[in-house]
Amino acid sequence: MERIQQVHQDSRRTYGSPRVQAELKAQGLPVGRHRVARLMREAGLGAR
């Protein structure tokens, strides 16, 4: 969750779950888009 929040903040809160997931994958963290979407929803994070 911390990594998701960091990527989301680094994007100035413009990235939704597909782009957050792609960034995490590029960083070498194997995580699925649906998991990222669920965690972002639970944390109240969303794209502008």
> Tell me: the pLDDT tens digits for 1-40?
999 999 999 999 999 999 999 999 999 999 999 999 999 9
Tell me the pTM: 0.90
Q: What is the 3-state secondary structure (H, E, C) of the chain?
A: CHHHHHHHHHCCCCCCHHHHHHHHHHCCCCCCHHHHHHHHHHHCCCCC
- C-beta separation of 4 from 40 below 8 A: yes
Decide if pLDDT at 48 tops 90: no
CA torsion angle for 4, 39, 43, 26 (degrees, to 10)?
10
